[in-house]
Structure 1
Amino acid sequence: MNNKNKRFLIALLRFHGDIVLTIPMISEIKRNFPNAVIDFLVYEGTGAILHDDPRINNILEANYSSKSNFLMRIVKEIKLLRELKSSNYDYGVFLTTQWRMALMARCLGKAKTAGVDDTKRKKSGWVDSFSAIFPEAGKKHIIERNLSSLEALDLEVNFNRIESKIFISKNTVDSVKELIKDYSIGKKYCVLHPVSRREVKQWKKEYFVEVIDYFSNKGFKVVMSSGPEISEITYLNEIESMCKTKLINLGGKTSLIQLAELIKNAHFFIALDSVASHLGAAVGARGLALFGPSKVENWRPWSEDISVISRSNKEELCSLHGHLEGKRRQCLCYISSQRVINEIGKLIN
């Protein structure tokens, strides 16, 4: 095998949870090329979960298209394209289907590149921008789809031993120990991450309250977590105000990598279809994920230690959302708090 320092670019312009699902790609690239240099291209702020990973050389950031004025966006995009062009990559993997990905792939020059075979991207302007096209997930997991992009570039991929472990530095471990000490969390605790970036993936606040009160009365320290957004912190504060028992509200107080370490040492966690579920899988935690509109076969946490409650289409549509169109009618209202309590009981017993 040629152990030359092959240079890889993995480009994924989506959300934090999607970034977690690329970690097995790093392991497979390193298995093929132990000395590979791996760069990531992600949206601003979404690469934080990779900061502790020593296998990553550099994390490049792209602007969200809708979050900057047109002129500033063009200037930054040109600067980014020039940086990509001068980086002399040997391989480029483009995991999302924005048209800017095609332009970025063309900037890599002689590099072997792979793009997604998307139903809306059948024209030559897309297909001809890449050396190879790999299929969308279909009924496979997104992790398997991501790995198939490496197969399209003629790398060997071991689908029977997918390594999805997240790297957590000693500094992060120590900071979480201090957090646990400062908030008197102790050892018998669970983590609830009751927020998702998309409203259609939310569960009822009242149900979270019932679950929190139940496990608090069972002797668990219940820790709630969220991102730094004001809307998420406010949501957690509202849940806390409704509880009859005390909890530890860490809304906005942890980084994603700290959250991963916190979940790792918990007795269990409960989360929605969000980054927290994927973090739980990546650290080998036990837990429960609640799914509504997302396809479970594509997006479930990659772990046998995490249960999933999902809509089977046998449940009745609720009165609040059943009349709505599209994904909004696939709400989580059909999941009762007792069902969640029972499922966690199976996990911890």
Structure 2
Amino acid sequence: MSWGRLMKLSNVRKILFITLSNIGDVILTLPVLSALKDNFPEAGIDIVVGPRPREVFKKDPRANRVFIYDKYAGFKDKITFIKKLKAEKYDLAIDMKASLLPLLIGAKYRSAIFPIARSGIKHKRLIHLESLRPFGLIYKKQKNIYIDDEARKKIEDILQTSGIKDADIIIGVCPGSKSHLKQWKKQGFASVINSILGNSQYKVILIGDTNEAGISKEIAAAVRQQGVIDLTGKTSLNELFALIEKFNLLLTGDSASLHIASDLGVRVAAIFGPTDPEEYGPRGKEDAVMRKDLKCSPCKKAQCKFGTHECMTAISAEEVLSTIRKVLK
């Protein structure tokens, strides 16, 4: 008998949603959180998340409590953490890590430790949603990122102060990524931005986290045209959500910003190399992916075994610019 048949939906009052440790990965799990809230509107949903993406849920009204799980914590601290969650007596635990945690805390109903996605499903967002299928839970297509009014107001003020008008076409550029192998060349970004800004109606905003501020600074310095606004590392995460929401298009590699834009329905032009766009790429009908058809790509490796990084370096600024123009038509 399936878990879906065993579950009495009316009895679910306390839910634990266990998500991941990187911001981009967490964004890909948010449709599951939305589905849990839609299917159990009266239930309280607690969240387990890594330290880095905790801000995703800071103001989210769907989150009852947020527990920070540090995978580097000592054994004793981890046991204390498990006991704390076990004492909550959760009715349902949905785990995006597919770990033993739901079993260890004694959740009445829990997602599978070894989940099996249906044949043909590759994208991580869809694989995460598969965790709901054994319970008969339905996901309704929607924006899953919560943005508060204060963040939207702050971004409106920043854009106005920066001289951006309502009629302007705003192109976001995220040149950084957690792995340097997923980053396109800085001179390529500068060349594309120079060409874009030849049209006075276009404005370019550089984004990323504080660790990527140096990359953006170099790119901005190499751009000859006026109109580049560098907000890299200058916003909170919720403000970044509100900023990306204002873009007409985002140019990026495989990054957290890609997943944010994709969730918010913002058009994306994505540059892919070592990672697989079928697993992590944008999913909108108007989105575009640029990649080279090489035997070694996607290798999904942390280092290029040939030392050439050809999958990224071979993509030209002309190709990227042409793709942007097609997406913006």
2:88 is the counterpart of 1:106? no
Shift of 1:277: 0.7
**Paired AA for residue 250 in structure 1:** L
**Paired AA for residue 90 in structure 1:** D
Residue from 193, 199, 204 that aligns with 1:222:
204
Shift of 1:116: 4.8
Partner of residue 326, structure 2:
346
**In structure 1, C-alpha distance between the alignment counterparts of 2:165 and 2:56, rounded to whole Å:** 25
Partner of residue 263, structure 2:
282
2:44 is the counterpart of 1:44? no
Work out whether residues 193 and 223 of structure 2, in 8 Å CA contact, stay in contact via their aligned partners in 1.
Answer: yes
Partner of residue 124, structure 1:
none
**In structure 2, C-alpha distance between the alignment counterparts of 1:327 and 1:151, rounded to whole Å:** 42
Residue from 141, 156, 164 that aligns with 1:162:
141
**In structure 2, C-alpha distance between the alignment counterparts of 1:272 and 1:225, rounded to whole Å:** 12
Shift of 1:173: 0.8
**Paired AA for residue 38 in structure 1:** I
Partner of residue 63, structure 1:
70
Change (3 A) 1:311 1:80: farther
**Paired AA for residue 227 in structure 1:** D
**Paired AA for residue 326 in structure 2:** K
Residue from 213, 223, 228 that aligns with 1:243:
223
Residue from 199, 205, 228 that aligns with 2:180:
199
**In structure 2, C-alpha distance between the alignment counterparts of 1:280 and 1:146, rounded to whole Å:** 18
2:298 is the counterpart of 1:295? no
2:150 is the counterpart of 1:171? yes
**CA-to-partner distance for each residue in 1:283-312, whole Å, 9 max, x for gaps?**
111221111121211111232232222333
Shift of 1:329: 4.5
Work out whether residues 247 and 266 of structure 2, in 8 Å CA contact, stay in contact via their aligned partners in 1.
Answer: yes
Shift of 1:4: 4.2
Partner of residue 186, structure 1:
165
Partner of residue 18, structure 1:
25
**In structure 2, C-alpha distance between the alignment counterparts of 1:330 and 1:255, rounded to whole Å:** 34
Work out whether residues 213 and 232 of structure 2, in 8 Å CA contact, stay in contact via their aligned partners in 1.
Answer: yes
Runs of 4 or more, structure 1, over 6 Å off, are 314-317
Question: Which secondary structure does the structure 1 equivalent of 2:150 belong to?
Answer: helix
Partner of residue 305, structure 1:
286
Partner of residue 40, structure 2:
33
Change (3 A) 1:251 1:165: same
Residue from 138, 141, 159 that aligns with 2:123:
141
2:239 is the counterpart of 1:258? yes
Question: Which secondary structure does the structure 1 equivalent of 2:313 belong to?
Answer: coil
Question: Which secondary structure does the structure 2 equivalent of 1:109 belong to?
Answer: coil
Question: CA RMSD for the aligned pairs?
Answer: 2.7
Change (3 A) 1:326 1:113: farther
2:314 is the counterpart of 1:334? yes
Shift of 1:74: 3.6
Work out whether residues 201 and 332 of structure 1, in 8 Å CA contact, stay in contact via their aligned partners in 2.
Answer: yes
**TM (normalized to structure 2)?**
0.86
Residue from 181, 190, 206 that aligns with 1:209:
190
Partner of residue 86, structure 2:
85
Shift of 1:327: 10
Work out whether residues 286 and 347 of structure 1, in 8 Å CA contact, stay in contact via their aligned partners in 2.
Answer: yes
Number of aligned residue pairs: 315
Residue from 4, 9, 12 that aligns with 2:16:
9
Question: Which secondary structure does the structure 2 equivalent of 1:14 belong to?
Answer: coil
Mark the runs of 5 or more structure 2 residues left unpaired by the alignment: 1-7
**In structure 2, C-alpha distance between the alignment counterparts of 1:291 and 1:115, rounded to whole Å:** 31
Work out whether residues 165 and 282 of structure 1, in 8 Å CA contact, stay in contact via their aligned partners in 2.
Answer: yes
Shift of 1:330: 6.3
Shift of 1:202: 0.5
**TM (normalized to structure 1)?**
0.81
Change (3 A) 1:324 1:263: closer
Change (3 A) 1:233 1:137: farther
**CA-to-partner distance for each residue in 1:67-90, whole Å, 9 max, x for gaps?**
xxxxx6345423322221112111
Question: Which secondary structure does the structure 2 equivalent of 1:217 belong to?
Answer: coil
**Paired AA for residue 105 in structure 1:** P
Work out whether residues 191 and 224 of structure 1, in 8 Å CA contact, stay in contact via their aligned partners in 2.
Answer: yes
